[in-house]
Structure 1
Amino acid sequence: MNAVMRAGEDLKRLLVQIQEVALRTHPNCEDDLESLLTWINPNEPQSNHQCKPPTLRLKNSIKMLVNQYYNMELREDERDTGYLFIQLVRQFYVYQVRLHFFASLSNLHTFKDVQRLVKYYEFPLKYVYIFENCPEEWIGERDGLMHYLLNRHKKLRINVVSRLKDLVMEDDFDLAMDVVKWLNESNSNVSSMDLMLDLIVEKISRFCQDQMTGTWNNRFLIMETFNRFITSYWSQFCLLLACPEDNHELTTVVYHLFERQFVKLRTKEIFDIVVGVYPDSKPTLLELRRVLVKSKDFTQIVVEFLSNFERQIFNPSISTVNALLAYVKTVKAFLTLDPTGRCLNSVSAFVKPYFQERNDLVTVLLYAILELQSEEFEGPARAYLDTNSLNQLSQELKDPEFGIESSFETIPQADLLSRPASTATTAAMLDPRLPYKSVIKNFLQWTPEPMDTISKNYSKSLSASRNLLDILMDMFESKDFFVSEFLSLLTRKLLTLKLYTLDRKWSHCLRLLKTKFGPAGAAAVVATGIGGGDGGSIDGVRGGDPSNINNIDVMLRDVRGSSELCKRMHQVAGLDQRIYPKFISPLYWNRDNSSNGWTFQLDPQMALELDKYCQVYSEIKPGRALHLYKDQGIVVLTLSFQDGRKKRCEATLEQCSVIQQFDASTATTTGLTEQMIGARLQMDPARARAALQHWVQEGVLYYDGNAYKTREYLDDQPAENLPASKDSSASSQARTMSPDRDSRLTSILEQTWPFIQGMLTNLGALKVKKIHSFLKVTTPKELGFSMVTPSQLESYLHSLVEEERLICTTNDTYKLPK
């Protein structure tokens, strides 16, 4: 209270002094003086200047009381009085500004508020020259108030910093310069230099985000982005920083910021770079390799990649072929990024357990190596394998740089560090006088492995010359399993071979396996021995079971011998030359003398022709007898129909025997049932049913509800329902889907079939609720699976069981048929 009263008394004394001094030189000027003091007083908002020019009368008062002194219009004896008057008015104005400033302090929230306030204070000074001879006094007063404002008003300080950031990010450098200038003039504890450096980092981050994100095919993206930034913004930033544009030390630091932002962005995008677009992204991987200098950067890249790989690849909706394709791209990309192989070693160790859970991994890999087409798939693979993805995988495996036949060497880190000096090192090594020079140089350049490196275990295999097949083989616990699976595929291929010439892709794969798993040097003499050439015998396998490779040699020799023996037999009169037999050694083909339940009678004419071949064989090979494997062999049939159609079909011996039971009389009258077929051929009714349904699918037979008949005319319509399998416990409910069900629901369920296939392939048998929950998560939203109830899905699965596309087990789980 005393301070306020004292301030009021001081103001009164000051006003009295101003009036006394003014009356000395200008008698009767009380009204003019009051108008002047009111006009410049910021605490008189209703009567002061209000940021408007003074009136004519007020201009005359200003000229008379103030400007006469500066215009040298006062007499010599009045100049001291005029100077004293200016001093007193100056004190009055400063006093009123301070009073108004502290009264308005709580209303100042933004930089615009401060600008408006300063403009309010400085407006009357344009007309009343009270600081004409000492402008630094007003500048000091103004900057002092701003200094106090920035240091004490936290909310305003935060808003000013935010405003400056917005201006810089929006490229409004003129207004940003005003803020920086104001911060510098206030001389507060808010450093404009620190703020601008932080904003440059933020600006670079956003600029890189805009220019670098998704651009993966540019080899020198960092330099090009840096040059664009310098051209667009550097001159403005230098003005804000008050530094020369050719400050090379600062531009070097800025360039390093671009490198760090590049690493940060590529770390976030690493999954898309590796799995999504490789090899198109190879340029950005090469550039990333150049700027990666810290082991923790490699670690962050690997962790980010594996977290995305686990989430997006190792889920039930992703088939094995797509997962393997992603892994092959991963191998190539990480070898490009890190030639030392340490990153790849960490990735491989992480994904290996996941891939080992996939039962069809070996089959998919072999299919890709062999470049099989969809018509060559066997078993469930025919239904769930994506041909396009398999073809992509085959092309990746044939890559000349990182393929299954191209070798490459992983480079130790020490070699990478010493690579720039390799020319000098080589010269030193060739100099016989200084044999120790290169050793000392390498020792001085050696850098110890960081403690936080992603992998401290150096595998011997990583330092050797390897290829893609070697890396893929590491996913298997034993390489024998891979060779055994190939042996199984090759056995089926040779048994179903129409003639005796193996496709080149099988010969190529066989040569590759012998190179990898045979003894050293075996590759030089290996040939398929089929269709010409001599097959070299393999006596052992590196790190595996030699019997598998030996079996292959025997099987190839059997096929080659069958070709030669067939030529001799076809020269014997009376033999049907349309038959091309294969004479196999059962012990090496994993077969015994039984047909595993395949007991049925052949067509008499076919049996007669085969007996002739047996007799001729006994004559050529005295003391040897043949046993027919009825579960093998392919018969090419040309079927003729009463409407003139002819259909060429391939069938097994069993299927051929079944269709030959339909002659002209039985075809068009009563037809044949599965029991009748089983009785005639002494065949298991279940096998007869399977053979009959094969011919129904081929469009040769149809089922009229009681018996099977030949479809002599295209107008012959098959019945909607085939007889249910006896293996199903719900034959009367196999087709619970209502005939008038909604077409939209039908479409949704049919589109879920690939997802169900992939799920059951990867996870094995599942119950309805589990399948339903997985489909809700994995199917796209636009498919609309959310409208499908578990009971509707169960009905659809029952229909798939009836179609023999699925099997329903005793515990109500569903799985794919083997």
Structure 2
Amino acid sequence: MATDALRAQIAGKWQSAFSRLNRGEPGISGLLSFSEAWDIAAEFLHPRDLTDPTSKKDHDMQKVKGAFDTLSKAKMLPLLLENFLESMRKQKYHIEREVSQFMSQYDNTDDCQYIAALVLRLIEWYKAWAPIPELGYTILSAYTLAFHTQTFSILPPSFSRGFKSLIASTLVLVDSATPPTWANHPALEHSHPRRPDMPLWNAFDQLGLLDRYESLISSVCYEHIETHIQESCSGKWGEPMLARLREWMAEKVVPWMIMPYARGARSTDEARSMLQGIGSRFDFHVCKTLSDLRTKEIFDIIIDYPDSLCALQDLKECLQRVDQRTELVQTLRKANKKRLLHPGADTKDILLQYVSIIRCLRIIDPPGVLLFKVADPIRKYLRERPDTIRCIVASLVGDGESGDSLVDENEPIQPLQQLQVDDYTDPNWEPEPIDAGPEFRTNKPSDVISTLVSIYDSKDLFVKELQVLLAQRLLSIKDGNFERERRNIEILKIRFGESALQVCEVMLRDMTDSKRIDQHVQSQRSMSLHPTIISRHFWPPLQSSTITMPGQFNELQDEYSKQYATFKPDKKLRWLPHLGSIQLELTLQDRTVSADVPPLEAAFIELFSEKDTWPIDELRAKVGNVDRISAGKALATWVELGVLRAEGDGTYRLLEVAEEIASSGSAQSTRHVPLAEEEAPAIMTVQQQQAEQMKVYWKFIEGMLTNLGQLSLDRIQSMLKLAPGYDRTVEQLAGFMEAARREGLVIVKDGVWKLNR
């Protein structure tokens, strides 16, 4: 049973509520007026069906306002709002029915005009159900939140796709003169002529779509930027594009941004302030997208340098704003590995691309961090190629047959730069960039030649290759004009120093002295022999041979040696008869044949003046027992000229009278035939010299393996260092041992070498 205190408390509450509702009027007249006010307000707020014209009723606004005033004084507006929101929930099916109809049309056509019509229809529902403003902001905001919540619960998943398409069409509207289909909607008839999408944006705001789909709206603009950059910038490297893209943003994208991001601005300055943050984001995306595009094209951009200079400058500016240096390095390294660093690429092409990479990456990143990271695999690969040094040296001396030069003619000639220790007392010293690796040094060589030479640990290899190449070029000169080589030597002196080029100066002086000596000998006795006389100790090793010139050629050599000994009694000539070329004129019974041939071909045809038929083995023995392959090639030259005929048993016969198949038509005809095949280089290459020198150390290696049984490569290297003059690296030793293994001299197992007995 209830206590007296509880009864008293309930009675007090009842009396307070009754007094509030009755408002102190006699009897229950106040309560009756409250009930009437409730009915009027509830009927006024009750959500109506817009599809039913009969549901619209005319209300006496004086009574409505009076009713709301009565409920406000009775503090019953919150309860009325709760009742109203519940009625909205129950009537939501009307909206849901129309949403389903519009979305069905969109799903069937993918036309965003149905999404626009749906949005404008939702605004009609929103305004039809909205309470009067006199009720205050609290009730209105509660209604808005409830309407948004119920609307979002109705929208199907495909609405996001349609809404994105609709937003994209508003962006195209600003960028195009052709209006989209939704611009013809009746609700947009009185919209701004230049911005027919303005009512749409107002509707988006009222329905809460701007906040709900903020990231989707941004993504539309991002995709629009990406599409424009792909279409307008792909493959266009000869003109600056970043400034042009920013102009396009200011003219086409910023006006569109006013609607979603600065609609409420009351002045230009306020709009600019509101757009500053989002504008910076979109500018960042422009730089990022252009950077991604140029990064993807970077290999071809480098190939096209210097015509692609503008693209490199754009990329430099983009990378200052967008941190994508790592992506650039990875992309270029991957492209180099796939398209450059493989056996099918010529060393000259690799060097040309490497030089372009050096120049391009210095434009993008002057400190050289990107170049250091990209160049490392290229430098390692070039070190493994045997002809890398030769290609670099050929470019240094201006080899006309080497194609494009690695050296820029406008680049000043300067000495090779050496790495220096950082001077921390220098007031202009700067720390290394933050993304530099532990091995990076900011004072890397700046000119291209120094960078190429720094591929190797020592410049001595280049000097040796310079000597070989210069020797070959000097020996190939026929007209006695050495001015070009003299100029090359002077240029190389600047780069490599005076001491490194002393041997080259001796070689050049030998060529001029040889010409002077030959003139003196010819003045004493005219001869058809014109040898090149060089100093044996100052020239790279020449190709050796056992060939001996027979007959008149041997007589010419002896006679020339006597005349030389008269002129230079303290010196003696040592002939290398296998080098050079000989102009011959063969007089046969029915024809005359003129030919420029190597000495071996001349030696063989001279022997046929003794007898008409020779077996090939006798010919080989007569000229110094040359190998059979070389002899066969030399004799094939005369067979092709129709001077000799090869018999089936390895015998060759002189054709005094031309056979019908080889006859040129008339007797006593003269035939001039150039050199049958290209002369072999007279000078041994650096690799050949190293191989010959390594043969000297084979006796040491053979003795080690004989006495100690088996040794690892490192142990062989450490023991060879005790031999006089040994200066090979372990990699060079490994190459020599592998060559010995192929010849069957040694075998290797688990990295241990032993003799193959």
Shorter-normalised TM range: 0.5 to 0.7
Distance 1:131 1:653, change over 3 A: closer
From 334, 354, 359, the counterpart of 1:327: 354
Counterpart residue identity of residue 306, structure 2: P
Q: Which residue matches 1:148?
A: 150
Q: Which residue matches 1:269?
A: 297
The 3-state SS of whatever aligns with 2:452 is helix
Deviation at 1:269, TM superposition (A): 2.1
Q: Which residue matches 2:3?
A: none
Gap regions ≥5 residues in structure 2: 1-47, 67-83, 107-111, 183-196, 664-741, 745-757
| Cα contact 2:582–2:599 (8 A) shared by 1 | yes
Structure 2 distance, partners of 1:339, 1:132, is 66
| Cα contact 1:217–1:280 (8 A) shared by 2 | yes
From 581, 591, 606, the counterpart of 1:660: 606
Counterpart residue identity of residue 453, structure 2: M
The 3-state SS of whatever aligns with 2:320 is coil
From 481, 485, 490, the counterpart of 1:511: 490
Q: Which residue matches 2:235?
A: 214
From 513, 517, 521, the counterpart of 1:561: 513
Aligned runs of 1:255-334 on 2, under 5 Å? 255-274=283-302, 276-293=303-320, 296-334=323-361
Structure 2 distance, partners of 1:609, 1:627, is 14
Q: Which residue matches 2:584?
A: 637
Structure 2 distance, partners of 1:469, 1:262, is 33
| Cα contact 2:642–2:658 (8 A) shared by 1 | no
CA offset digits 1:120-162 (Å, max 9, x no partner) = 8899999xx9999999999997985454232575725633554
| Cα contact 2:368–2:442 (8 A) shared by 1 | no
Q: Which residue matches 1:228?
A: 248
Structure 2 distance, partners of 1:511, 1:715, is 56
Counterpart residue identity of residue 230, structure 1: A
Q: Which residue matches 2:534?
A: 584
Deviation at 1:559, TM superposition (A): 1.8
From 691, 694, 699, the counterpart of 2:634: 691
CA offset digits 1:617-655 (Å, max 9, x no partner) = 111122433221122222233567888685542x32222
Structure 1 distance, partners of 2:339, 2:230, is 24
Distance 1:41 1:460, change over 3 A: closer
Aligned runs of 1:198-213 on 2, under 5 Å? 198-213=219-234
Structure having greater relative contact order (Cα 8 Å, sep ≥ 6): 1
Q: Which residue matches 1:19?
A: none
Q: Which residue matches 2:699?
A: none
Gap regions ≥5 residues in structure 1: 1-39, 43-47, 55-60, 81-89, 375-389, 415-437, 523-539, 542-548, 718-808, 812-818
| Cα contact 2:99–2:154 (8 A) shared by 1 | no
Structure 1 distance, partners of 2:199, 2:587, is 95
Distance 1:581 1:97, change over 3 A: same
From 234, 249, 257, the counterpart of 1:237: 257
| Cα contact 1:345–1:455 (8 A) shared by 2 | no
Distance 1:333 1:134, change over 3 A: closer
Structure 2 distance, partners of 1:336, 1:91, is 66
The 3-state SS of whatever aligns with 2:524 is coil
Structure 2 distance, partners of 1:516, 1:92, is 92
| Cα contact 1:551–1:589 (8 A) shared by 2 | yes
Structure 1 distance, partners of 2:549, 2:380, is 49
Counterpart residue identity of residue 482, structure 2: L
Q: Which residue matches 2:207?
A: 186
Q: Which residue matches 1:98?
A: 92
Deviation at 1:484, TM superposition (A): 1.0
The 3-state SS of whatever aligns with 1:627 is coil
| Cα contact 1:263–1:288 (8 A) shared by 2 | yes
Structure 2 distance, partners of 1:203, 1:413, is 49
| Cα contact 2:298–2:332 (8 A) shared by 1 | yes
CA offset digits 1:678-725 (Å, max 9, x no partner) = 2443533513223223555778766565555669579439xxxxxxxx
Q: Which residue matches 1:785?
A: none
Distance 1:678 1:632, change over 3 A: same
| Cα contact 2:168–2:220 (8 A) shared by 1 | no
Tell me whether 1:675 sits opposite 2:617 in the alignment.
yes
Structure 1 distance, partners of 2:126, 2:534, is 114
Tell me whether 1:452 sits opposite 2:435 in the alignment.
yes
Q: Which residue matches 1:163?
A: 165
Aligned runs of 1:394-409 on 2, under 5 Å? 394=405, 396-401=406-411
CA offset digits 1:269-290 (Å, max 9, x no partner) = 222211x201111122234334
Q: Which residue matches 1:735?
A: none
CA offset digits 1:62-97 (Å, max 9, x no partner) = 9xx968x89x9xxx99xx9xxxxxxxxx99997984
Structure 1 distance, partners of 2:363, 2:118, is 61
Q: Which residue matches 2:403?
A: 391
Structure 2 distance, partners of 1:413, 1:305, is 29
Structure 2 distance, partners of 1:314, 1:490, is 29
Counterpart residue identity of residue 217, structure 1: G
Q: Which residue matches 2:17?
A: none
Distance 1:66 1:470, change over 3 A: closer
Counterpart residue identity of residue 620, structure 2: G
CA offset digits 1:481-506 (Å, max 9, x no partner) = 111122122223334443543361x3
Distance 1:177 1:507, change over 3 A: farther
Deviation at 1:314, TM superposition (A): 0.7
Deviation at 1:470, TM superposition (A): 0.8
Aligned runs of 1:314-393 on 2, under 5 Å? 314-373=341-400, 390-392=402-404
Deviation at 1:238, TM superposition (A): 2.0
Structure 2 distance, partners of 1:489, 1:240, is 71
| Cα contact 2:210–2:260 (8 A) shared by 1 | no
Distance 1:154 1:558, change over 3 A: same
Q: Which residue matches 2:457?
A: 477
Distance 1:158 1:716, change over 3 A: same
CA offset digits 1:194-220 (Å, max 9, x no partner) = 5434433332233222222222111x4
TM-score, normalised by the number of residues in structure 1:
0.57
Counterpart residue identity of residue 297, structure 2: E
Deviation at 1:362, TM superposition (A): 1.4
Deviation at 1:567, TM superposition (A): 1.6
Deviation at 1:614, TM superposition (A): 1.0
The 3-state SS of whatever aligns with 2:343 is coil
| Cα contact 1:555–1:584 (8 A) shared by 2 | yes
Distance 1:171 1:555, change over 3 A: same
Distance 1:284 1:615, change over 3 A: same
| Cα contact 2:115–2:162 (8 A) shared by 1 | no
Report the number of matched residues.
562
Structure 2 distance, partners of 1:413, 1:624, is 54
Tell me whether 1:619 sits opposite 2:566 in the alignment.
yes
